[in-house]
Structure formats: C-alpha cells, structure tokens
Amino acid sequence: MAVNIARRDLLKAGGLIVAGGALGGCATATGLNPAVPPAAKVIQSPEQIGTTPADTGASAGSGMPPQDKPTWTPKAEDPFAYSLADNLFWNDVMMEHAMFFQSLMPGKELDGPRSQAAEFQRLFAQQLDQSRGLAQDNYAAFNQRSISLARRFGDWKKEMREQQASGRMRSLVWPLFFQHTAREADRFASRLDLYNKRQIEFQRSELIDFWSKTMGEHSGFIAHLLDPDERVLISQASKMEKAFLREGFKQVRGDEVMKAAKEILDFKTVGEKGIYAGKIKSIIPPALASHVRREAVKFVDELQRASAA
C-alpha cells in the first residue's frame, strides 16, 4: 500500500486538530469535531472502506499482507452466501488473534500458551483455506467444524483471561483483550449456528450490542497503544470509547448508530495509513491496525443489511 502523507495533513484532514481550537455548537455521534472532514474522506482508498462479495474459490487471504486483505461480505441473501462470507472473514480474524497472542507472549515461561496459540493459528489458517471450497451441499457440515473450532478457541481465551487476571500467567495480553476476542469467537459460532438453521436475519439489539462493545474496546486499546506524546489522537480514541460503551447505546436511533460506525471507520482508516507511513507514533503493529479497520467495515456492512431488512 503506497502511502505518502505528512503528519500535519493527516491530523488536519482528519478533523483531529483545528486551527484556533475546536469549534463549538456541533457534535457528531462519537464526539469527534465535525468541522473538518475526516481524513479518511481525503486519503482513504476504496479498498479500505469497501467490501468484497464472497465467492467460492476466492483467494482466502491467509498469505496476503494485512492491508490488502478484503472484507468479505455475502453475495446473496441466503444461508450459503452468509456462511461463505463469514467463514472467509472470521476464520481469518481468529487466525490473526492467535498470531497477536504469540507476539504478546515472550519468554521461556510462556512457551506453553504460546505453542497453544501457534496451534490455533495453524488450525484457523487451514480452516480459512478450506473455506474457499464451500458449496451448497457441504456448507452446513463445514459450518459445524468452524463452530467447534471457534468455541474451543473461545474457551481457551476465557481460560487465558482468568490466568492473566489472577496473576497465574504474566503475558503482555490484557485480560480485556482475551475477553474481547473470546466474544468475537462466540459470536462467529452463534452466527454460523443460525445459518445452519437457515436464519440469516440480524437482531438489531444483538448486532449493536456486539459491535458497540467491539468498537468501544478497540478505541480503548488504541488509546493505550499510542505513544503518550500522541495526546490529540489519544483524546479522540477515548471519546469514541466513551461513546460506544455508554449505557443505552443500543437504544440510539439507527441513523446515529450508522454515523458513529462510519466515524470510527474513518478514524481507523486514518490510523492505519498513518501507522504504515510512520506518521503516528505507537506500538500498534500494522497488522493490528488493518485488523481493526476491517472489523469496522464489517460493522458498517451488517448495519446496512439490518436497516434494509
């Protein structure tokens, strides 16, 4: 991904700084300053915010650079199309979770859990590759294998969360990160189970509850992984964390939820560009920046489908 942007342009275009201070009297769904268009509107590429309809035989993406991976979405409104898209998308997400855990489990004392994470990475990479062969006559059985693997991984994450929180394990993985990724594994399995029952509809309250927690926690992670000198970006990430995690977010009007979803997608797109270009100081791996951006794309797509139903 070719990137050539100055840090000043990145922040100014993103509405993250405004000459003379913030303009009052306006508010967006997440509290970001609306006076200047989000940077993503200026510098993002269609591939960063767009989706790719899943098709049998699609390049699964396990060997692609993270920034080039597509965000897979259903090509049609039927259980097979949803199964194919979610297997391509979420098996990749689970594989990346396992990869992140390994990098955050250094040292000989963590050889055991690091090896377990490596095995989950191998299993999800295999499942992702095999997702390309889904067909109308085998998707239900394949879904069941993905469900079983996702639930195993979710249980492992919950156990790691307890070990980290209690001090029995001392890795660099926050307990909340284990909890966060376990919720994603559980939701992946639950959606596939619905498809096997030939149900594809989204329940608005469930969708918003899941994605608001996901986006809010992502924002908190970003705030804590930015260099302390990145005060403006930390402030913006914290505002989004508060907006998405506030009590009653599920009752927010549909258009405001969509506005918030697009705002955080813009923020993550800018962040990914800035991290790859070396314009944002942080300890955020570029692969993680791409990972959270693709999940925001998925959020927007699911909201659009739920609204159209």
- Alpha carbon distance 107, 270 (integer Å): 34
Q: Tell me what pLDDT residue 56 has.
A: 84
Task: Tell whether the model's pLDDT for residue 26 goes beyond 60.
Answer: no
Q: Tell me what pLDDT residue 60 has.
A: 64
Task: Tell whether the model's pLDDT for residue 12 goes beyond 50.
Answer: no
Using the CB atoms, write b or e for 259-276: b if 16+ within 10 Å.
Answer: ebbbbbbbbbbbbbbbbb
Q: Tell me what pLDDT residue 11 has.
A: 53
- For residue range 59-71, list pLDDT tens digits in order: 766 677 888 899 9
Nearest to 124 by CA among 90, 158, 100: 90
Q: Tell me what pLDDT residue 45 has.
A: 63
- For residue range 234-267, list pLDDT tens digits in order: 999 999 999 999 988 877 887 899 999 999 999 9
Whether the model clears a pTM of 0.85, i.e. scores above it, the answer is yes
* Contact assessment for residue 49 and residue 73, using Cβ atoms and an 8 Å cutoff: no
Instruction: Give just the sign of the alpha carbon dihedral 152, 115, 93, 30.
Output: positive
Q: Which residues sit opposite 73 in a β-bridge?
A: 53
Q: What is the CATH number of domain 7-308?
A: 1.20.1260.120
- Alpha carbon distance 301, 136 (integer Å): 23
- For residue range 101-147, list pLDDT tens digits in order: 999 999 999 999 999 999 999 999 999 999 999 999 999 999 999 99
Residues 6+ apart with CB under 8 A from 100: 285, 287, 288, 291
Q: Tell me what pLDDT residue 189 has.
A: 98
Task: Tell whether the model's pLDDT for residue 8 goes beyond 70.
Answer: no
- Alpha carbon distance 159, 141 (integer Å): 28
- For residue range 47-103, list pLDDT tens digits in order: 678 888 898 877 766 677 888 899 999 999 999 999 999 999 999 999 999 999 999
Decide which of 205 and 62 is more confident: 205
* Contact assessment for residue 289 and residue 275, using Cβ atoms and an 8 Å cutoff: yes
Using the CB atoms, write b or e for 177-212: b if 16+ within 10 Å.
Answer: bbbbbbbbbbbbbebbebbbeeebebeeeebbebbb
Task: Tell whether the model's pLDDT for residue 182 goes beyond 80.
Answer: yes
* Position 200 confidence tier, pLDDT thresholds 50, 70, 90: very high
* Contact assessment for residue 112 and residue 53, using Cβ atoms and an 8 Å cutoff: no
Q: Which of 27-36, 246-255, 297-306 has the lowest mean pLDDT?
A: 27-36
143 dihedral zone (left: phi>0; alpha: psi -120 to 50; beta): alpha
Q: Tell me what pLDDT residue 172 has.
A: 98
